[in-house]
Amino acid sequence: MVGTQVRKVILDVLKPRQPSIQDMASKLASLHGVDNVGVSVVEIDESTESVKVSMEGSDIAMESVRKTMERLGAVIHSIDEVLVSKKPKTV
């Protein structure tokens, strides 16, 4: 089986009001293989926010993303879009 790399992912996430979306984006951008992160608020509740998280990179490790979200008190509701490419062959 050919190896693959996750290059882009868009997530539907429920998070507490704190940390801010800027702090969340910074934490996610610090992960290995992640180059760009965008977070936009979709809906605000008294204690939570529904947000869309867009991530792009060279090799996004979804398990690291999930663990980071959990540490921030957030839950991934769904993966709404994903772009995967083949890993380059090593010679």
Please report, for the chain, the start and end positions of each structural domain, with discontinuous segments joined by +.
Answer: 4-86
pLDDT for the residue 2: 64
Integer Cα distance of 65 and 84 in angstroms: 16
The pair of three-digit structure tokens given for residue 1, joined into one six-digit string: 């089986």
Integer Cα distance of 67 and 2 in angstroms: 26
CATH architecture for segment(s) 4-86: 2-Layer Sandwich (3.30)
pTM: predicted TM-score of the whole model, two decimal places: 0.90
- Per-residue pLDDT of 37-60, as tens digits, reads 999 999 999 999 999 999 999 999
